[in-house]
Chain A
Amino acid sequence: MKLLIILPAFNEGEKIGEVLKNLPNKIPGVSEIEKLVIDDGSSDNTAKIALSQKAKVLRHIINRGLGGGIGTGFEYARLTGADIVVTFDSDGQHRPQDIVSLIKPIIEKKVDVVIGSRFIKVSEVPFDRIVINFLSNVATFILFGIWTSDSQSGLRAFNKNAISKIEIKTQKMEVSSEIFKEIKRNDLKFTEIPIKAIYTEYSRKKGQKNSNAVPTFIKMFLRILR
């Protein structure tokens, strides 16, 4: 079992080194772990730091957004024959130890996709995030007919079947909801497991902005209409 951890990164030089250093190098049931940083047109030293941490780096010559980065990661996973893909935020918001429980249902061949949900055990999540996330969940349900407790989670795992079937077309934050659309379209089995997010000043600044919620919804809507 080869695991590919995809870390989309845009100007994350401040955090990416620490995040990569803390990622697990060995997980039971996994023979090989590859860390892939998608440097999404950063103007800082993100790529250099990632390389120094022995991560594979793919560089976008211009910034394409979160969806663009994850899409590139998936393409790389297909080319290199990865068995499991994990998407992991490079701003230090996720706990490395959550990867183990995240990929467990996939190793046990129970599901195709696992979503790490911050809202199964609601704790220490800022109130505005709870509200925005709930509205996003409702929008995801209305647009794609699939209910999730955390439609905006960045911590997810996919098995080989999901990797081969999921097509990512969106460029920015709407990718999070698009993944649910793809789960539904391809009839993939998915489950959610509780994770804990670490909210720091830095991760809140770098992560999804509340003001992005409406444009993200409009883009999702436009994508359906075409």
Chain B
Amino acid sequence: MLIQILLIIFLLFAVSRVLLQVKSGNITAGSFIFWSGLFFIAIVGVLSPELTSRVARLLGIGRGADVIIYVSIVLLFYLVFRLSIVIEDLRHEITKLVREIALSKEKETGKSK
């Protein structure tokens, strides 16, 4: 099916990006395992849709596609939550930096007086 080919192409592209990021040291080993694992599972799911149907039956959900949607939504929500915490941490770090600059400037001017 055309959709399978398109999805595989896109997922392979995504995996290549993950590899590139880990090579350049932009992501940690943990992130590499998570993202490459996620895209790998997606590739398996696209190649053999009957596998997702089996998982769906196992979980008591109607169709394989529904399992993917449910899992994706939960995962996305969790990732957004993690991201917002990371952003908060970054803000905190920036504030510490700005504070340090303000105090060190004060020390400098204090000395020169």
Contact = CB atoms under 8 A, between A and B. Distances in A.
A205 interface: no
B85 A171 contact: no
Given A60-B98, A169-B92, A75 B84 contact: no
Interface residues of B, number: 15
B103 interface: yes
Interface string A44-62: 0000000000001011111
B66 interface: no
Contact of B99 (A56, A75, A219, A222): A75
A109 interface: no
Contacts of B98: 60-62, 64, 68, 72
B103 A222 contact: no
Given A225-B85, A226-B85, A72 B92 contact: no
Interface string B39-55: 00000000000000000
Contacts of B103: 58, 72, 75-76, 79
B2 interface: no
B102 A59 contact: yes
* Chain B residues touching A, majority SS: helix
Nearest to A68: B95
B84 A60 contact: no
A71 interface: yes
Interface in A65-79: 65, 67-68, 71-72, 75-76, 79
B63 interface: no
A171 B106 CA distance: 21
Contacts of B85: 222, 225-226
A223 B99 contact: no
A196 to B, nearest CB: 32
Nearest to B107: A79
Contacts of B89: 226
A2 B98 CA distance: 26
Interface string B73-113: 00000000000110011011011001101110110000000
A226 B89 CA distance: 10
A26 B84 CA distance: 46
Nearest to A40: B98
Contact of B102 (A72, A222, A223, A226): A72
A71 B92 CA distance: 11
A72 B88 contact: no
Contacts of A76: 103, 106
A56 B23 CA distance: 49
Contacts of B102: 38, 58-61, 72
Interface of A: 38, 56, 58-62, 64-65, 67-68, 71-72, 75-76, 79, 169, 171, 219, 222-223, 225-226
Given A56-B106, A68-B99, A225-B85, 8 more contacts: A58-B105, A60-B99, A60-B101, A68-B98, A71-B99, A75-B103, A79-B103, A226-B89
